[in-house]
Amino acid sequence: MNISKHGSSSGIAPAQLYFNGFKDGMESDMSSAETLPVMQLLPDMPGSSTGSPKQQAVQAQSCDSGGVRGHSPDLLGRALHGRVGSFKQPAVPTTQTRKGQGYRRLWQMVSRVQRGERLSDTSAGREDVTVEDLVKTVQQLPASASAVEAIAAGLAYLDSRAAAALLKALAKAGLGQRAVEIFDYLRTLEPEHELYSLADIFTYTTMISQCNSHHQLRRALELVAEMRSRAVPLNVHTYSALLNVCLKANELDLSLDVYAQMLAEGCTPNLVTYNTLLDIYNKTGRWMDALNVLELLQHQNIKPEARTYNAIISTCNAAGRYAEAVRVHKVMCAAGVEPNSATFNAALTSYARSGQLDAGLGLFHAMAARGYERGANTYAAVLAACDLPGRWDLALELLQQMQSEGLRPSTACLTSAISACLHGGQPARAEQLFERMYTVCKPDAGTVNCLVCVYCRLGKHQQAVNMLEVMLRGGQHVDLTTYDAAIDACWATGVVPLQKYALQLYGRAHQQGLFQGLVSEQACAEGSLLDIQLPGGSPHVVLISLLHMLHELRYHFAAMGGAPCVGKVLLRLGLQGQDAKALSHVVTSQLCTLASPFVALPAPAFCNQPGMPAQVEELQFAADSLAVAEWLHGSAVAVALGVLSQSGPGIMPGMAGGMMGSRGVDGMMAAQEDAQRELKCRQAMMSVQAFERTCGINAQAIPQAALLQRAELVQALLRSAPCIGLAAEVAHDAVQLLDRALASPLAGNVSGRLLAAACLHITAHHDASSAPMLAALFQAGSPQQLLIAVAQVRQVLGGGCVTISAMRVLRLLLERLGVESDELSATRYVCGQALLLAGAAAQSAAFVGCPPSVVAVAVLCACRVAAGLLPAWPSALAALTGYDENSDVLQPYLKAAMQLLLEL
């Protein structure tokens, strides 16, 4: 049979695997040898060099036979060069093989039994003992005494199988060094010695199997070399024992070399060999080779046992091949092999990770029905099955059942339950579960990764960032899901420092090989095609990947002199899961906003890729390469890529400037400052909302004539304020105060220009000395008339002339996003033309009587949409204002703001 070389597995077989797996009657022979009658060594005799006459005689005989405490010679190197110490290699042994000598001695006694006598009468004066008695004798020896001298006479009555049984029994009794001492004595004997034949395949194999640590691997290899030197054949049991030693020493490549040599020498593996080989495959992740073992066993007509199937299932699980593991379990059931506890646990993991929750629960209940104990690992496997489907209710029920059975939940149980709550849309329950359970079991990296996602889902950015930073600074593993959740949550806030941090995280993940797209050049009808596949992820991660790809493509085309060597550019994005619709919206709206030449293909493609669910929809866009090159160097793309310039050299190498430059972001500091900023802005927003409840404007009360003149008056206020050194907010405050005055009886008694000048005088908190300047600026009569108008406004409005304009609310919103500068370069990546649009909205009659917070929200949202800034309405502003893009009260004003923006 031609058996190819295999290669990998885990699980370490016990040290006595060889003898437990003896075939062809070897084990039965050895077990018989353990009760073999030998010359009695009194078990109660003292273990010294002197003792009873009988013991002295035995010791003398052993000394005459050359009994010394031998030491293991370093024979490996010499054996490889054909030199093996003082060992001789005669063609024909000079002494007769002593196989079965103990039974021959018993036969001699049996043959002397006379009529009317019993065997005990014939053996009168002779006390027979077993291998167990020899072990007890060695156990009673002091550490300084020689085991060889104590039992040398008894060794003369053993054959090699019984000697192997003695060595094995000593090792089981914790006397491994004594076994080594006895066997090393046997190894050093000359061929002419009557005990020389005891060092044969049985004893050598036994001692090889007892090399159960890494520093004993060399001894095992030396013993194999010595066997070859002494022409002792190596059989399947010897090779199996050596494979197990290599496995325990974690020398996996060496173990595969040993297996290959075994096959090369024509030695056919047995079930023990294959089980050990499967453990090696498990450790090296070679799941395909593990599956092939089943075919080899079938070809050799060897029936696999439960341990064999368990090893194959575990190997497939470790490699993430859960579907293959499930199939192996079904084969095992069809073969009628009785499963054990390890089978159930391994199969539970397979069904859980392959999404077959019902099948996993069936196995879980079958364990109890068959009387198998369900431990923490069993519950962990079932809880893992609750993860992806989001069965948080079942996960919490299993945790409660687990504790009622007296089991302490493991870290894996806690992590799976938290993740099930997260996927089931219950992040608050996940947080409560962690707070209740973290004292029961210590969280690991998986738990912390999951908890970061929970905090991100709850909008607790400071906790999420702090925990993530602890992981990064501590060198812990941060998985793809955690990076994705943290980047998406930080970017969704719209807060500039947190978006900088999100880009920094993206850069770090990108350097670790995550979020990598695929770019390839292919032939097509137009000549050639540049195929670009965006990496998947959450919506905002895909957005960053898209902008990153545009940046790379821009530099790629620039390096070719602006003349691409390809005919078309194809942009692809796989869509799956709950975010499929959001992903499609992000990419489509971004390309549309930037007026890209990309056109969506008429029909989405469906593909079945390995490792991906069936029918994964793929969004595809195509464009002419020359049009793409021209578009990439346009102003719209430049503004969009300016957002990514926040990231510094980590994401956008070669692009200088931006809001961040080359300095990194301290995530903890950014989160702490954002928490303080949020508290400050929330208090300010509460004041705005209180003002709106008490100082509303009734637009219906403003006379038609005043409405016709209002646009001119507002324009005069906005133009005049900078001329006298007033901020834009003061002019907008005056506009709001003017609307309140126009809605009062003053509109018919005081001229419009005089009212506008009076309102600006009040909001600027000027004294009487500024009246001449304002009266002249507005051509509103004499200074005395202006002061009288100021008094009238104060009187009619009840003295409560405090105003909060839409411009002030807009400034508050920008402050919440971390922008405190008026410079266009600092605001265009956050609010677009919102500051200009706010002035136009102040002049428009469509916004008269509208609460200032609604005006500010409509203006900012419209400008972010027009600029292609995503999200159009950041989560930080939604939490601050209570408005979102779909709020009914916001819709008419949002449309009006978009119309004004088009007119601008």
pLDDT range class, residue 38, cuts 50, 70, 90: very low
358 has pLDDT over 50: yes
Residue 276 pLDDT: 96
Residue 240 pLDDT: 96
Neighbour-count burial for 515-536, b at 16+ CB within 10 Å, e otherwise: bebeeeeeeeeeeebbbbbbbb
Q: Identify the CA nearest to 272 among candidates 307, 245, 300, 223.
A: 307
Strand ranges for 161-320 from DSSP E: none
Q: Identify the CA nearest to 272 among candidates 220, 311, 233, 299.
A: 311
75-89, 315-329, 741-755: lowest mean pLDDT where? 75-89
The 10s digit of each residue's pLDDT in 255-303 is 999 999 999 999 999 999 999 999 999 999 999 999 999 999 999 999 9
Mean predicted confidence (pLDDT) in 386-394: 91
Task: Give the H/E segment covering residue 529.
Answer: strand 527-533
Tokens of 884: 């979102």
Q: In terms of DSSP H, where are the helices of 319-356?
A: 322-334, 341-353
The 10s digit of each residue's pLDDT in 193-233 is 989 999 999 999 999 999 977 678 999 999 999 999 999 99
Give the integer Cα–Cα distance in Å for 818 and 835: 16
Percentage with pLDDT > 90 across the chain: 53
| Coil/strand/helix, residue 522 | strand
Neighbour-count burial for 89-99, b at 16+ CB within 10 Å, e otherwise: eeeeeeeeebb
- Dihedral of CA atoms 828, 832, 837, 839 in degrees, nearest 10, equals -20
The dihedrals phi and psi of 321, each to the nearest 5 degrees, come to -95, 70
108 has pLDDT over 90: no
Residue 40 pLDDT: 31
Spatial contact of 159 and 105, defined as CB atoms under 8 Å apart? no
23 has pLDDT over 80: no
Percentage with pLDDT > 70 across the chain: 80
Q: Higher confidence at residue 248 or residue 153?
A: 248
Spatial contact of 495 and 462, defined as CB atoms under 8 Å apart? no
Q: Which residues pair with 623 in a beta bridge?
A: 569
Q: Which residues pair with 599 in a beta bridge?
A: 622
Listed in sequence order, the residues at least 6 apart from 128 whose beta carbon sits closer than 8 Å to its beta carbon are 37, 38, 39, 40
Tokens of 442: 């210590």
Q: How many other C-beta atoms are found inside a 10 Å radius of the C-beta of residue 549?
A: 17
Q: Which amino acid is at 550?
A: L
Q: Which amino acid is at 363?
A: L
130 has pLDDT over 80: no
The number of residues making up the chain comes to 904
Listed in sequence order, the residues at least 6 apart from 347 whose beta carbon sits closer than 8 Å to its beta carbon are 313, 325, 326, 329, 339, 363
The 10s digit of each residue's pLDDT in 840-880 is 999 999 999 999 999 999 999 999 988 888 899 999 999 99
Residue 91 pLDDT: 36
Burial environment of residue 253 by CB neighbours within 10 A (0 to 12, 13 to 18, 19 or more): exposed
Spatial contact of 816 and 497, defined as CB atoms under 8 Å apart? no
Listed in sequence order, the residues at least 6 apart from 833 whose beta carbon sits closer than 8 Å to its beta carbon are 863, 866, 867, 901, 904
pLDDT range class, residue 534, cuts 50, 70, 90: confident
Spatial contact of 6 and 289, defined as CB atoms under 8 Å apart? yes
Q: What is the mean pLDDT of the chain?
A: 81
Listed in sequence order, the residues at least 6 apart from 706 whose beta carbon sits closer than 8 Å to its beta carbon are 742, 747, 752
| Coil/strand/helix, residue 217 | helix
Mean predicted confidence (pLDDT) in 303-309: 96
The dihedrals phi and psi of 571, each to the nearest 5 degrees, come to -115, 125
Listed in sequence order, the residues at least 6 apart from 838 whose beta carbon sits closer than 8 Å to its beta carbon are 732, 806, 807, 810, 855, 856, 859
Q: How many other C-beta atoms are found inside a 10 Å radius of the C-beta of residue 509?
A: 22
Give the integer Cα–Cα distance in Å for 87 and 75: 10
Give the integer Cα–Cα distance in Å for 774 and 532: 62
Q: Identify the CA nearest to 505 among candidates 546, 532, 447, 544.
A: 544
DSSP classification of residue 9: B
Spatial contact of 669 and 708, defined as CB atoms under 8 Å apart? no
pLDDT range class, residue 104, cuts 50, 70, 90: low
Give the integer Cα–Cα distance in Å for 436 and 762: 57
330 has pLDDT over 50: yes
The dihedrals phi and psi of 599, each to the nearest 5 degrees, come to -120, 130
Spatial contact of 93 and 191, defined as CB atoms under 8 Å apart? yes
Spatial contact of 7 and 281, defined as CB atoms under 8 Å apart? yes
The 10s digit of each residue's pLDDT in 570-591 is 888 877 555 677 888 888 888 8
The 10s digit of each residue's pLDDT in 592-628 is 888 899 998 865 444 444 444 444 478 889 998 889 8
341 has pLDDT over 50: yes
pLDDT range class, residue 29, cuts 50, 70, 90: very low
Furthest CA-CA distance within the chain? 156
125 has pLDDT over 60: no
CA 391 to each of CA 214, 358, 443: distance values in angstroms, whole numbers, following the listed order: 45, 12, 21
pLDDT range class, residue 692, cuts 50, 70, 90: very high
| Coil/strand/helix, residue 608 | coil
Give the integer Cα–Cα distance in Å for 484 and 502: 10
Residue 48 pLDDT: 35
